[in-house]
Amino acid sequence: MRVDRIRLFVQALCFVFLIYGGLTIFSIGTAIPTMACIYAENRGGSCFLYPFQRFLSMPWAMLFGSAATAFLIYLGTFFLWALVFGKTFCGWICPLGFLQDLITKIREWVGIDGSRFAWKTRDRFQWVKYALLALLILLPMGIGNSLLGLPRFTPDLAVPFCQICPGKPLIPLFEGDLSHLIIDFSSTTKLVLSSLSMLIAGLFLVGGFVKRRYICAFCPMAALLSLFDRIGFVGLKKKGEACTCCGNCFRACPMEIREIAELRDKKHMVTQDCMLCMRCIEVCPENKALTATIIGLPVFSASAEGFLKRQNKTASAGGPFHGETPALQDTATDPESASK
């Protein structure tokens, strides 16, 4: 079975659990490093960012006083999740990631061609996810405390990212909850945030028909998980001398990471946008050029034999190996051409 099919199955299971798991009176907590929306009433677990912002909105005397123990336990729980699973939360578990992948499948099924960001465009917007991460930290802090002598912010900014996250209006829909598909006129702040929420949700749906994993490039959770790229248990290693720069990995990558094809002298390949989906390994035709590891031990490696078997099975089924190009190439090519 192909990795992308296994991943889609795992994603579907995680999606169902994270939205409906609460119906079984079972929850994996509120410190999960993935976009499991807090506004889904029957959730089986929820996103780290909502309580994190709530903690930060406390006065510092309370945060580092009576709430300090709870805050440290909360951060420690998140740290363990992120250390053990890392970016697999993005590629295999995230409900919003799953929805984007489903939209891509629908787009491919109806025959709509996808597009790519030019590399310069992609690089130009790398800062957005880090800016959102900074804002979701600083804005709540300004509610319970005066930052740089400024007046305290309105309590409506207590969870600013959750108010604009596309998960807020979209995820509850799967429980039949339409209450978040609104523009809130009760205050100027809520008006702005709810309007942004509707706009971003629209971009989420439309963008999925244009580009794979469109919203993930701007996700602050990905920025946060990037802190664990080198120390996380799950890794992606490259054997540069085995790489022929065919470009298959770049073309298959949902996040269009060119470094995976370009860099031959870099061993650690979990970059800031990598979601550890393993597609690059699956489509690599060179023995052990790319390898997924867990605590340094290889668990899945590229192989010429596996590549050819998958190619032959796909050819006999009458379809491309992956949905973005009609065929993968086994000859050297410049990945730059794929971005134009």
| Whether residue 152 sits in one domain with residue 22 | yes
pLDDT of residue 210: 87
φ and ψ at residue 110, rounded to 5 degrees: -85, -5
Confidence of residue 325 (pLDDT cuts 50, 70, 90): very low
| pLDDT bracket for residue 317 (50, 70, 90) | low
> What does the CA dihedral 123, 129, 134, 137 come to, rounded to 10 degrees?
-170
pLDDT band at 121 (very low <50, low <70, confident <90, very high): confident
Q: Assess if residue 228 is contained within a domain.
A: no
Q: What is the mean pLDDT of the chain?
A: 88
State the Cα–Cα distance between residues 202 and 306, nearest whole angstrom. 40
Of 33-47, 171-185, 200-214, the poorest mean pLDDT is in 200-214
Residue 186: which residues within 8 A CB-CB, separation 6 or more? Answer: none
Three-class secondary structure assignment of 58-115: CCHHHHCCCCHHHHHHHHHHHHHHHHHHCCHHHHHHCHHHHHHHHHHHHHHHHCCCCC
Q: What is the mean pLDDT of residues 318-328?
A: 45
d(CA 202, CA 121): 21
Position 243 in a domain: yes
The pLDDT assigned to 322 comes to 46
Q: Sign of the CA dihedral 141, 231, 162, 118? A: positive
Any residues with CB less than 8 A from the CB of 242 and at least 6 apart, and which? 286, 287, 288, 289
Question: What is d(CA 282, CA 285) in angstroms, rounded to the nearest whole number?
Answer: 8
Answer yes or no: do 176 and 276 share one domain: no
For the chain, the straight-line distance linking the first and the last C-alpha, in angstroms and rounded, comes to 32
- Based on the domain organization, do 57 and 199 belong to the same domain? yes
Do 20 and 123 belong to one domain?
yes
- Span 78-87, pLDDT tens digits: 999 999 999 9
Partner residues linked to 291 by β-bridges: 237, 301
Ranking 61-65, 106-110, 120-124, 251-255 by mean pLDDT, the lowest is 120-124
Which secondary-structure segment (H or E) carries 46?
none
Q: For residue 296, give its domain range.
A: 233-339
The answer to whether residue 56 sits within a structural domain is: yes
Per-residue pLDDT, 189: 94
- Is 63 found in the same domain as 194? yes
User: Per-residue pLDDT for 222 more than 60?
Assistant: yes
Judgement on whether residues 291 and 333 belong to the same structural domain of the protein = yes
Q: What is the pLDDT of residue 318?
A: 55
Q: Are residues 213 and 269 in the same domain?
A: no
For the chain, where are the E strands, in sequence order?
Answer: 234-238, 290-294, 297-301
The pLDDT of residue 320 is 53
14: in domain: yes
The angle, 0 to 180 degrees and rounded to 10, between the axes of the packed helices 49-56 and 68-85 is: 150
Q: Which residues contact 337 (CB under 8 A, 6 or more apart)?
A: none
Q: Is 331's pLDDT higher than 50?
A: no
pLDDT above 90 (res 125): no
The burial class, CB within 10 Å (0-12 / 13-18 / 19+), for 316 is exposed
> What pLDDT is stored for residue 200 in this prediction?
94
Task: Say whether pLDDT at 332 is over 70.
Answer: no
Backbone dihedral region of 111: left (phi > 0), alpha (psi from -120 to 50 degrees) or beta? left
Question: Per-residue pLDDT averaged across 82-109, rounded?
Answer: 94
Is residue 192 assigned to a domain? yes
Which of 162, 188, 223 delimits the end of a domain? 223
In a domain? residue 92: yes
Instruction: Indicate if 52 and 184 belong to the same structural domain.
Output: yes
Which pLDDT score, from 0 to 100, does residue 265 have?
85
Torsion over CA: 106, 112, 116, 121 (sign): negative
Convert the pLDDT of each residue in 3-47 to its tens digit: 888 999 999 999 999 999 988 878 899 999 999 999 999 999 999
CA 288 distance to own-chain centroid: 26
Torsion of CA 339, 97, 82, 169, to 10 degrees: 130
Residue 175 has pLDDT above 90, yes or no: yes
Say how far apart CA 247 and CA 260 lie, in whole Å. Answer: 9
Instruction: Please check the confidence at residue 89 and state whether its pLDDT lies above 90.
Output: yes
pLDDT digits over 250-271, tens only? Answer: 999 989 888 888 888 889 999 8
Same domain for 109 and 28?
yes
Write down which residue in 181, 201, 223 finishes a domain: 223
CA distances from 86 to 33, 91, 162, 212, 295 (A): 8, 10, 21, 21, 12
Q: In terms of domains, do 314 and 213 share one?
A: no
**100 inside domain:** yes
pLDDT at 324: 43
Note whether 209 and 112 are within 8 A (CB): yes
Average pLDDT over residues 43-68: 95
- 207 and 256 within one domain: no
The pTM for the full model equals 0.87
Domain total for the chain?
2
HSE-CB for 250 with a 13 A CA cutoff? 26
Across residues 101-105, what is the average pLDDT?
93
Domain end marker among 173, 201, 223 = 223
Over the stretch 140-163, which tens digit does the pLDDT of each residue have? 999 999 888 889 999 999 899 999
Q: Which positions ≥6 away from 304 have C-beta within 8 Å?
A: 285, 286, 287
**Whether 177 and 244 share a structural domain:** no
Reading phi first (left if > 0) and then psi (alpha if -120 to 50, else beta), residue 288 is in left
CA distance 112 to 324: 10
Q: What is the pLDDT of residues 271-282, one digit of tens each?
A: 889 999 999 999
